Structure 1
């Protein structure tokens, strides 16, 4: 019963909250979509943490998405032992790279007095959930080897059953607890999407491509125009 609630019901609740909450926030608080930058408060750690996190997580998510959307092609790719080993090692490296980035971002929020001054409880909670997600993913990759294969044979059919509105949790029930935590926590992130800064991922500035050039006008006159006393 618990497994069905976590993996047969909660995913739909999470998606409804993510979509409904995101639309509501866009309608009522559109200007809160962009991430509140603290770059002026602390720049060095932000740069290294942000680069590692964003590049790493995008590549990891693309690999997950490729297996989900193209399972047959992904299966043929994994059919060769050498390709499988290369993908596994690459995935581990990207996971470590991503974990380093999110840990730096979390440490920056806590250790920098300037960044800490503007941090919120939801900021820390979101970062902790993301650390848990990446950490459990790495743990599963180290302990339960060949994750690319069991993800394709177990998680992908379960996700397809959710998409068909016919959740089939028989693929999830026998999985170890760390794997279940990783899968469940992914949908927790969906729940947090509309109520945290994570919502900024949909605020892509596409309009910048055709927006006219911004003209900056100095308010302060040049030094040579200021009369000397």
Structure 2
């Protein structure tokens, strides 16, 4: 194991996870109100809709597919053993990646060109947007040039991540992958490390307490106009 591989595939992932967990706890205790997407919808709605919908639709399903493959490797392998299902998933994945890329580019263009949205943007917004665009673009490039990623992902990234979580890192699973694939994986961990300092924290702010809170009674106070 050379020192560069140690830094990239062991030290960097652990550092990113440590910062993500510690930073999220710190931010939650320091400023719980900031756990939101800090929506700018009231500033501009039309372009936000056409950027936000394809972005969230594409990226959330892609992330869910990555997670399912990681959590349920056995069923996922059996599913992919059917070449027709594998090919279908490849096409769906490409379509979702294009949707996510179009969406994030639209959101970036909106933030750059709308004066009020640009004025309310933070430094981390300008850091995060290029990283997300790069990550989705590289992921799409990998999908186009290294086909059947849903399959070989099971024999490379999944066992590597499992070994990291088991505190027994085994970088041989990923050390010989093409540079662009490794870049995609490492950039993902870089974004995870930035997670607690960006608006991405709204991902974990889903109001689960709404499921068991008492029914909220809303009384309308609408005055009737006299003609």
* Fold-level similarity (TM above 0.5): yes
Give the one of 94, 108, 111 matched to 2:110.
108
Gaps in structure 2 of 5+ consecutive residues: none
Match of 1:64 in 2: 66
- 1:46-71 Cα shifts (integer Å, max 9, x gaps): 11111111111111011111111111
Equivalents in 1 of 2:129, 2:12: separation in Å?
21
Q: Alignment partner for residue 196 of structure 1, among 191, 195, 198?
A: 198
Q: d(CA) in 2 for partners of 1:79 and 1:16?
A: 36
**CA separation in 1, counterparts of 2:184 and 2:220?**
48
1:52-110 per-residue CA deviation (whole Å, 9 max, x = no partner) reads 11111111011111111111211111112111111111111111111111111111100
The alpha-carbon deviation at position 222 of structure 1 amounts to 7.5
TM-score, normalising length from structure 1? 0.91
Match of 2:167 in 1: 165
Say what the alpha-carbon RMSD is for the aligned residues. Answer: 1.8
Q: Pick from 25, 28, 43 the counterpart of residue 27 of structure 2.
A: 25
Q: Does 1:213 align with 2:213?
A: no
Which residue of 2 is the match for residue 227 of structure 1?
Answer: none
2:53 counterpart of 1:51 = yes
What is the CA–CA distance in structure 2 between the aligned matches of 1:176 and 1:102, rounded to whole Å?
A: 26
Q: Say if 2:160 is the partner of 1:155.
A: no
Deviation at 1:164, TM superposition (A): 0.8
Structure of larger gyration radius: 1
Decide whether aligned partners of structure 1 residues 162 and 193 sit closer, same or farther in structure 2, where only a CA change above 3 A counts.
same
How many angstroms does 1:207 deviate by? 3.1
Instruction: After TM superposition, list the pairs within 5 Å mapping 1:6-21 onto structure 2.
Output: 6-21=8-23
- Residue 145 (structure 2) aligns with: 143
1:124 counterpart residue number? 126
Distance 2:139 2:171 in 1: 20
Runs (4+) of structure 1 exceeding 3 A deviation are: 213-218, 221-224
Query: Aligned pair count?
Result: 223
> C-alpha displacement at 1:214, in angstroms?
4.8
TM-score, length-scaled by structure 2: 0.92
* Aligned counterparts of 1:181 and 1:122: Cα–Cα separation in 2: 21
Specify the SS of the correspondent of 2:156.
Answer: helix
Deviations 1:142-186 (A, max 9, x none): 011111111111111111111110111111111111101110011
Residues 71-82 of structure 1 aligned to structure 2 (within 5 Å): 71-82=73-84
CA distance in 2: counterparts of 1:217 and 1:24, whole angstroms: 41
